[in-house]
Protein backbone atom coordinates (compact mmCIF):
# COMPACT_ATOMS: atom_id res chain seq x y z
CA UNK A 1 0.00 0.00 0.00
CA UNK A 2 1.36 3.43 -0.90
CA UNK A 3 1.20 6.51 1.25
CA UNK A 4 -0.38 9.70 0.05
CA UNK A 5 1.61 12.94 0.24
CA UNK A 6 -0.59 14.09 3.13
CA UNK A 7 0.34 10.96 5.08
CA UNK A 8 4.04 11.59 4.52
CA UNK A 9 3.63 15.13 5.90
CA UNK A 10 1.54 13.90 8.82
CA UNK A 11 4.32 11.47 9.75
CA UNK A 12 6.93 14.19 9.25
CA UNK A 13 5.09 16.37 11.79
CA UNK A 14 4.82 13.43 14.19
CA UNK A 15 8.55 12.71 13.92
CA UNK A 16 9.37 16.38 14.39
CA UNK A 17 7.28 16.50 17.58
CA UNK A 18 9.16 13.39 18.71
CA UNK A 19 12.44 15.28 18.16
CA UNK A 20 11.18 18.08 20.42
CA UNK A 21 10.17 15.61 23.14
CA UNK A 22 13.50 13.81 22.91
CA UNK A 23 15.29 17.17 23.20
CA UNK A 24 13.45 17.86 26.46
CA UNK A 25 14.75 14.52 27.74
CA UNK A 26 18.32 15.35 26.71
CA UNK A 27 18.76 12.48 24.24
CA UNK A 28 20.31 14.93 21.82
CA UNK A 29 21.74 12.61 19.18
CA UNK A 30 18.36 10.96 18.68
CA UNK A 31 16.64 14.33 18.52
CA UNK A 32 18.95 15.20 15.62
CA UNK A 33 18.19 11.89 13.92
CA UNK A 34 14.44 12.48 14.28
CA UNK A 35 14.90 15.87 12.60
CA UNK A 36 16.50 14.06 9.67
CA UNK A 37 13.65 11.55 9.58
CA UNK A 38 11.02 14.29 9.61
CA UNK A 39 12.65 16.16 6.72
CA UNK A 40 13.09 12.89 4.82
CA UNK A 41 9.38 12.09 5.12
CA UNK A 42 8.34 15.60 4.08
CA UNK A 43 10.62 15.35 1.04
CA UNK A 44 9.09 11.99 0.16
CA UNK A 45 5.62 13.51 0.39
CA UNK A 46 6.68 16.33 -1.90
CA UNK A 47 8.36 13.82 -4.23
CA UNK A 48 5.13 11.84 -4.53
CA UNK A 49 3.05 14.99 -4.98
CA UNK A 50 5.23 16.53 -7.68
CA UNK A 51 6.38 13.45 -9.57
CA UNK A 52 3.22 11.42 -9.08
CA UNK A 53 5.20 8.31 -8.20
CA UNK A 54 6.31 6.52 -5.08
CA UNK A 55 9.48 7.98 -3.59
CA UNK A 56 12.58 5.81 -3.66
CA UNK A 57 13.61 3.95 -0.52
CA UNK A 58 16.58 6.17 0.16
CA UNK A 59 17.57 8.31 3.12
CA UNK A 60 19.78 10.83 1.33
CA UNK A 61 18.09 14.22 1.66
CA UNK A 62 20.24 15.87 -1.02
CA UNK A 63 19.34 13.13 -3.49
CA UNK A 64 15.63 13.67 -2.81
CA UNK A 65 15.94 17.46 -3.15
CA UNK A 66 17.67 17.04 -6.51
CA UNK A 67 15.21 14.42 -7.82
CA UNK A 68 12.28 16.69 -6.92
CA UNK A 69 14.00 19.65 -8.58
CA UNK A 70 13.84 21.86 -5.50
CA UNK A 71 15.95 24.95 -5.07
CA UNK A 72 15.81 25.70 -1.36
CA UNK A 73 16.94 29.08 -0.05
CA UNK A 74 20.57 28.94 1.11
CA UNK A 75 19.74 28.70 4.80
CA UNK A 76 17.42 25.75 4.18
CA UNK A 77 19.88 24.11 1.81
CA UNK A 78 22.57 24.37 4.49
CA UNK A 79 20.26 22.87 7.13
CA UNK A 80 19.30 20.00 4.82
CA UNK A 81 22.95 19.39 3.94
CA UNK A 82 23.94 19.32 7.62
CA UNK A 83 21.14 16.91 8.58
CA UNK A 84 22.11 14.69 5.68
CA UNK A 85 25.74 14.72 6.84
CA UNK A 86 24.95 13.71 10.43
CA UNK A 87 22.18 11.19 9.82
CA UNK A 88 24.30 8.03 9.87
CA UNK A 89 26.53 8.99 12.83
CA UNK A 90 23.49 9.97 14.93
CA UNK A 91 21.59 6.84 14.00
CA UNK A 92 24.51 4.44 14.39
CA UNK A 93 27.06 6.12 16.65
CA UNK A 94 30.52 4.53 16.65
CA UNK A 95 31.27 6.07 20.03
CA UNK A 96 28.30 7.13 22.13
CA UNK A 97 30.41 9.08 24.62
CA UNK A 98 32.01 11.11 21.84
CA UNK A 99 28.66 11.76 20.17
CA UNK A 100 27.19 12.94 23.46
CA UNK A 101 30.05 15.43 23.71
CA UNK A 102 29.31 16.76 20.21
CA UNK A 103 25.54 17.13 20.48
CA UNK A 104 24.51 19.38 23.34
CA UNK A 105 21.34 21.32 24.03
CA UNK A 106 22.45 24.45 22.16
CA UNK A 107 23.41 22.91 18.82
CA UNK A 108 20.59 20.37 18.94
CA UNK A 109 18.08 23.16 19.59
CA UNK A 110 19.51 25.04 16.61
CA UNK A 111 19.02 21.96 14.42
CA UNK A 112 15.46 21.58 15.63
CA UNK A 113 14.74 25.26 14.97
CA UNK A 114 16.15 25.08 11.45
CA UNK A 115 14.31 21.81 10.78
CA UNK A 116 11.05 23.46 11.84
CA UNK A 117 11.59 26.19 9.23
CA UNK A 118 12.58 23.69 6.54
CA UNK A 119 9.43 21.67 7.24
CA UNK A 120 7.26 24.78 6.91
CA UNK A 121 8.96 25.64 3.63
CA UNK A 122 8.59 22.10 2.26
CA UNK A 123 4.89 22.10 3.12
CA UNK A 124 4.50 25.42 1.29
CA UNK A 125 5.94 23.77 -1.82
CA UNK A 126 3.05 21.29 -2.11
pLDDT at 3: 83
Q: Comparing C-alpha atoms, which of 36, 40, 45 is closest to residue 85? A: 36
pLDDT at 1: 44
10-residue mean pLDDT series, the chain (126 residues): 87 99 98 98 98 96 98 96 96 95 97 98 96
Identify the structural domains of the chain with CATH numbers, from first to last: 5-124 (1.20.120.330)
Amino acid sequence: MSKKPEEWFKQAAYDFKTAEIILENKRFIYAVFMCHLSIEKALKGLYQSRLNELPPKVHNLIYLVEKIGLTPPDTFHNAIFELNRVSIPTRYPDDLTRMNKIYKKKNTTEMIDSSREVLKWLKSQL
